[in-house]
Structures are given as C-alpha cells and as structure tokens.
Amino acid sequence: MQKLIVEGGRRLRGELVLQGSKNSSLPILAASLLCREECVIRNCPALTDVYAAARILNCVGCRCTFSENTAVISPQTVTGTAIPEALMREMRSSIIFMGAMLGRMGECGVSVPGGCELGPRPIDMHLAALRKMGVDITEPGGSIVCRSRGGRAKGAKLTLAFPSVGATENIILCAAAAEGETVINNAAREPEICDLCGFLRACGADIAGDGGSSIVIRGRDKLHGCEYTVMPDRIAGATYLSMTAAAGGEMILDNACPAEMEPFLNVLEQTGCSIYTSGDRIYLRSGSRLRAVRDRIRTMPHPGFPTDAQAVLMAALATAEGTSVFEENIFDCRYRHTDALVKMGADIQILGKVAIVRGVPGLHGAPVEATDLRGGAAMVCAALAAEGISEISRICYIDRGYEKIEEAVRKLGGRISRV
C-alpha cells in the first residue's frame, strides 16, 4: 500500500492549474449512456472513481477510452442492463447509473453500494422519485431491479424532502429520456448539477431551472453526441487553497471557478487571508498566523458552506488564533479525520454534529491513516503546516478525488513524496 511522506513547516508558493471536477465527471459519464452518438468529454480528472465509471460504461456495452483527461464514449452499442456488484462496490456514486440506464434501456439491475466512510447513505429519495415516474422497483437480496412500466419512464411532479445531489442527478438522467415533463421541486442547486444539465443540453435535452430549486425536464426521444468540457473541481480548489492557508504562503489557482467557490472563499477570507479573483484565477496570500472564524461554520446544501470542504478548512483552522466552531449538517459521520489532526497536536472536541477547534500555536508531524477522501486531504493540509515529517497511509481514499496530489503540492513548493 502506498503512502505519502510530507515534510511540513515550509511556506508554500506557486501556481497550479486546477483539475476538472470529479463530482461533475461521474454523472456526465453516466449521462453519455443516454446518447446515440459519440461523446467527447474533456477536462475529466484521471482518478480511480473516473476509471471505475469508465469500467461500468464498458461493462454495459459502450466503448469508453480515456487519455490525457479526455474520455471518448461510443454509446451506440449499449446492450447491458445490469452492473455487476463488484463494479457497483468500487464507487459509491455508481448509483447514478440507475437513472441513465432507465433512460436508455427502460430497465436496470444494480446493487446498493456497501457501507460507507461518511455514515449511512440511503437512496430512499432516489427510489421514491423513480417509482413516481412509473418505474417498478424490487430489491431482491441486496440488489435493485428497476423496470419502467411500458418500457419508458413517465414525467412526474416531484418534491424532494432534502435537496439530495445524487437523487436530483438520477431523476434528471431518467427524466431526460422519459415521456413528458418532470418537475423537481427542492432540487439540489450544486454547480455540478448545472454542469450535468449543461452536458445534457449540449446533447439536445430540454432542461430549465438548474441552479435554482425547481428544475423542469421535458423528455426527448433521442439525444445526440457532443463535445463537452467539465467544470473545474471546486473542492480540490478549496483543498489547495486550504493547504496554502495552513502552511502560510501565497499561490495562484488557474482554471478555477471563483463564483462557484464563493461560499468557501467568503469563509476562508475571514481567517485573514487575502484573496483576489480575476476571471478563472484565484490568488491567495496568507499572513503569519490565521485567525479563527468568528461565526459558526455550518455545512449546508449549495449555496451554503460545502460539507466537502469542512475537513480541509478544519485542518487550516487547527493552528489559527482563537476558537472556530463547525456544524456538520449533511453527513452523520464526517469528523473521522479529527483523531489524526489531534494526533498531530490539534485541539478538537466533537459534540455530536459540532466540532470545536481551539487553535494551537503549531502542529507536529505524525504517522496517520486517511479515513475518507476529504479527511485524507485534510491530513495532507495539516502535515504541510506541521513541523517535522508525517506519513499518511491508506491514500487510496485520497486518490479517488485528487489527481496526482503529490505533483500538485510540489508545484506549490511543498515537500511530499509517494512511496
């Protein structure tokens, strides 16, 4: 098993081109199943989760090749309607293939992705919405078998109990090829939803209202192919900015998406970092010591503070002057990284969904284990700020979301190696 070795305590300085978004690429790759012609998807990050999505596409009969951040998919030959359990387990978000396969084939067989690092991640909202769209769903022994009545799902008026990103994506995918109009009320407003809709519109889909709480999708008989460029990864962007804030220094992030990152940037700015944006560039300079964030940092659906950036900001605030308080409102179990930060000298107390972070003057290197994707990235942030050497193991989690993280950190002048 590979490890990252980080020698911390050095200020960072450099310029970095931000990778494409993982959480856009995955639903867009699934969406290509709906098309009858070749799709060329650019700015796709080279990540284990993206490779898993490509394997699923190949398994159901598409031809999907991936090179130099471009995925080329020929979905004309889709025949399969089932995704084997082993492939489903490789990646939690394999569940979004459900809506796409229903849209294309009118049926699908998948399995519930297994236990998770972030707590239970039910798919009840996905299933309830698809049932309302005329899909019969049975769940024999851990698998999920879906069949649209009459071979094609029907448009429906749906209201989500919570603006779930995955449920919104699954509904959009199914509705884009369904009969009639689907309205999703209380839809997720995340930028990645708009990116998925942007791709589908480029393929001829009729979708309006994405980015707002009500999305209207009028189903089309056939979608054509397109060339599309995936948006930048706002969470990877938040991570590299947090690293520079934590270690001190200055950096430029190129090919970023400042508007979509605003909920994060607004909070980061309160730590005393100077942040300027121009076009798709973000410039950050961090002073000698960060300040704690005065208001409670509550993770919320977009445009609230993103749950995916909670861990990396916490790592930066571990050495800030004063006490910061986080409230995690999206996932039940998203503080598992805090034990590692405490091992590195942080003072963090967890009280249910609240984390109290009392800033300490400095951290020290330690051997730690990544607990999940963003938690692992938070350990890299803390290690860069810490005096001495840290050894981060179980980095397979980190590799699910960060393209060659060690090369990116080295571009910022960080001392890091993969062994």
CA 304/CA 321 separation, integer angstroms: 24
CA 302/CA 191 separation, integer angstroms: 8
For 167-220, the DSSP string reads HHHHHHHHHTTSBSEEEEET----HHHHHHHHHHHHTT-EEE-BTBS-EEEE--
Q: Measure the CA angle with vertex 254, ends 48 and 392; round to 5°.
A: 40
Residue window 234-273: x/- pattern of binding to ligand EPU, with contact defined by CB under 6 A = -x--------------------------------------
Structure tokens belonging to residue 278? 């121009």
CA 46/CA 20 separation, integer angstroms: 9
Number of residues that bind ligand EPU (CB under 6 A): 23
Q: What is the chain's alpha carbon radius of gyration, rounded to the nearest angstrom?
A: 21
In this structure, the number of other CB atoms found within 10 A of the CB of residue 18 comes to: 27
| 23 sits near ligand EPU (criterion: CB under 6 A) | yes
Q: Least distance from C-beta 94 to ligand EPU, angstroms?
A: 10
| 122 sits near ligand EPU (criterion: CB under 6 A) | yes
Helices 22-31/165-175 angle, 10° precision: 20
The residues carrying an active-site annotation are 116
For 38-91, the DSSP string reads -EEEES----HHHHHHHHHHHHTT-EEEEETTEEEEEGGG----B--HHHHHH-
Backbone angles phi, psi at 292, to 5 degrees: -65, 155
Q: Least distance from C-beta 327 to ligand EPU, angstroms?
A: 14
Structure tokens belonging to residue 215? 């999305």
| 133 sits near ligand EPU (criterion: CB under 6 A) | no
| 124 sits near ligand EPU (criterion: CB under 6 A) | yes
- Kindly tell me which residue out of 26, 57, 110, 311 binds ligand EPU, with binding defined by CB under 6 A: 26
In this structure, the number of other CB atoms found within 10 A of the CB of residue 145 comes to: 16
Q: Least distance from C-beta 305 to ligand EPU, angstroms?
A: 11
Q: Least distance from C-beta 223 to ligand EPU, angstroms?
A: 22
Residue window 332-371: x/- pattern of binding to ligand EPU, with contact defined by CB under 6 A = ----------------------------------------
Binding to ligand EPU (CB under 6 A): which residues in 290-319? 307-308
- Kindly tell me which residue out of 19, 93, 111, 338 binds ligand EPU, with binding defined by CB under 6 A: 93
Which residue's CB is nearer to ligand EPU, number 343 or number 374? 374
- Kindly tell me which residue out of 4, 30, 83, 125 binds ligand EPU, with binding defined by CB under 6 A: 125
- Kindly tell me which residue out of 236, 374, 383, 403 binds ligand EPU, with binding defined by CB under 6 A: 374
- Kindly tell me which residue out of 166, 191, 219, 365 binds ligand EPU, with binding defined by CB under 6 A: 166
Go through 147-160 and write b for each residue having 16 or more CB atoms within 10 A of its CB, e for each that does not: bbeeebbbbbebeb
Which residue's CB is nearer to ligand EPU, number 41 or number 235? 235
Residue window 385-414: x/- pattern of binding to ligand EPU, with contact defined by CB under 6 A = ----------------x-------------
Name the one range near ligand EPU by CB under 6 A: 4-12, 116-124, 288-296, 318-326: 116-124
CA 139/CA 124 separation, integer angstroms: 12
Q: Least distance from C-beta 159 to ligand EPU, angstroms?
A: 14
Helices 124-132/165-175 angle, 10° precision: 30
Name the one range near ligand EPU by CB under 6 A: 51-59, 165-173, 195-203, 363-371: 165-173
Given a contact cutoff of 8 angstroms between Cβ atoms, the answer to whether 252 and 15 are in contact is: yes
Structure tokens belonging to residue 392? 């981060």
CA 299/CA 95 separation, integer angstroms: 24
Name the one range near ligand EPU by CB under 6 A: 118-126, 134-142, 311-319, 384-392: 118-126
Q: Least distance from C-beta 139 to ligand EPU, angstroms?
A: 14
| Sites of contact with ligand EPU (CB under 6 A) | 23, 26, 93, 121-126, 162, 164-167, 190, 235, 307-308, 330-331, 373-374, 401
